[in-house]
Structure 1
Amino acid sequence: MRRASRLAVPLGLGFAFLYLPILLMVLFSFNDSRLVTSFTGFSTRWYFALWENEALMGAAVLSLRIAAVSATMATLLGVVAGFALARMGRFRGRAAFAGAMAAPLVMPEVITGLSLLLMFVAMEQAFGFPAGRGADTVAIAHATFGAAYVAVVVQARLADFDTSLEEAAMDLGARPWKVFFLITLPLIAPAIAAGWLLAFTLSLDDLVIASFVSGPGASTLPMVIFSAVRLGLTPDLYALATLLVAVVAIGIGIAAWVAFPRRPG
């Protein structure tokens, strides 16, 4: 009991350091005043102002669309890469392939964004694609580094996969493609879903890489928020952040409810 009471104080301070600023942000999103330094009264006016802010709402829709497309591409590439690293054993170029997949995990985003920008410029000059920078180049760029995260998740799941289930199915006459779709894929589906969500979140949160590879009319939500913050904080930004926190909290609650259902009685 004494040890628990001693840990309660630093643990409480740690949680306060992490979550108190978020709670204050939520509080000030309901501030009646335009000033963000003092709370003058409760109001929901800034949520209606957010809805009428075409720049923020357009950037939010664009970011969600880019995140969904890039996460899907990253998942397809990452699943193939994870299978290659986990199941194909030793092959020529394995070390280089593994290093190429791990590079986006440790490389500074400035270097990644600059290299992707140079690649897109060279591709446009050589093949005519992509025609300028926009939402497509942002989605491709996000898919390149998102695939590395998906590959890590899938490879880790396959590392402790019970291959006896696949072997038993093949012994009973099932063909490899049928074993994959009916046994392997359903068992690693949680890892694939986790990789997709991770890639989606990373794309939605990215600012540096998108700043390099985006063009006119393709400003993502982090880019718009960063530009607005440099001119001064406004309560509608707090309202937008509060809505994002609410969506994340609801998602976590649903995931916890699915993973840990309440037992009857």
Structure 2
Amino acid sequence: MKKVVSRAYVILIAIFLYLPIATLIILSFNKSKSMSVWTGFTFDWYSEMIHDRLMMNAILNTFSIALISALIATIIGTMACIGMKNMTKRVQNLLLGFNNIPLLNADIVTGISLMLSFLAFGISLGYTTILISHITFSIPYVILSVRPRMNKKTEGLYEAALDLGASHSYAFRKVVLPELIPGITSGFLLSFTMSVDDFIITYFTRGAGINTISTRIYSEIKVGIRPSLFALSTVVFLTALIILLIINFKTQRGGEREIEIF
């Protein structure tokens, strides 16, 4: 009985989470614009999405900003973790406290603050301001991902490499960096995901004529939902699913190789 209830609970949660996504995918192939009537199978909405210049520009802006901001935030966050390692415990705790403030702060407060800062310094809102904003709110996530990897084991391996005659740069590249790679990868992927998903901060810092997927969808919803939005959401979901499956597959293969070596 306990096993039946547990399975039913898991199935219920899965239905609750994925039924709306399945409905969205089905509607993206519906020939009718109605969400309640099925009139036939079609790829017209995907074709409309591809030929929509504004939508394609929004997609390009979204992923270019996400990729660049995640890369820069990962570099800055990793360097910050390495720098904090050589500081006193008190200073480290103080900096980590400041790092946690943006995570706890409301997005709307962060968005308005960044917008006012740009305007105060005479910076025109546009692509660059969105990029700077995304780098700003991504850095704390990178620090939280990389920081746990900077432990005593990493420090001990680094000192051991120096004792064996390795240079500082060589010991960092061959000993410390491989230990940090899982945290760096997690920080990069988290920053990329947060950037793609962000709406509030982007809305306040984007300026006129610049759209991402989230702001473009918000603009179109105000005049009516078109099935091309369902097509776009389906493409984004399937892309994320494929990337997740690839990452999980590589992680599983890596774990199996470590077990075999052991």
Q: Same fold (TM over 0.5)?
A: yes
| 2:71 aligned residue | 72
Q: What is the 5 A alignment of 1:14-53?
A: 14-53=13-52
Matched pairs, number: 256
Structure 2 CA distance for aligned equivalents of residues 93 and 190 of structure 1 = 25
Q: Contact 1:82–1:152 (CA<8 Å) still a contact in 2?
A: no
The 8 Å contact of residues 157 and 191 in structure 1, kept in 2 or not, is answered as yes
| Residue-by-residue CA offset, 1:175-231 (whole Å, 9 max, x unaligned) | 222211121112211211211111111111111001111112222111001111222
1:226 aligns with 2:225: no
1:127 alignment counterpart: none
> % of aligned pairs identical?
32
Cα root mean square deviation, aligned: 1.9
* 1:106-151 CA-partner distances (Å, limit 9, x unpaired): 1000110111112112222xxxxx3x01010101001011000000
* 1:10 counterpart residue number: 9
Q: Distance in 2 between matches of 1:139 and 1:242?
A: 25
Cα deviation for residue 17 of structure 1 reads: 0.4
Q: Which of residues 128, 131, 134 is equivalent to 2:126?
A: 134
Q: Which residue of 2 aligns with 1:84?
A: 83
3-state SS in 2 of match to 1:215: coil
State how far apart, in whole Å, the 2-side matches of 1:161 and 1:144 are: 30
Give the whole-Å Cα distance in 2 for the aligned partners of 1:33 and 1:72: 41
SS in 2 for 1:260: helix
Give the unaligned 5+ runs of structure 1. Answer: 125-129
Aligned equivalent of 1:120, options 100, 105, 118: 118
> 1:36-81 CA deviation, whole Å, 9 max, x = no partner?
2222211111111111111111100011111111111211111122
1 CA distance for matches of 2:204 and 2:75? 24
Instruction: Compute the TM-score of the two structures, normalised by the length of structure 1.
Output: 0.91
CA distance in 1, matches of 2:32, 2:153: 56
- Aligned partners of 2:139 and 2:75: how far apart in 1? 8
Q: What does residue 58 of structure 1 align with?
A: 57
Structure 1 stretches of at least 4 aligned residues deviating more than 6 Å after TM superposition: none
Structure 2: distance between partners of 1:123 and 1:248: 37
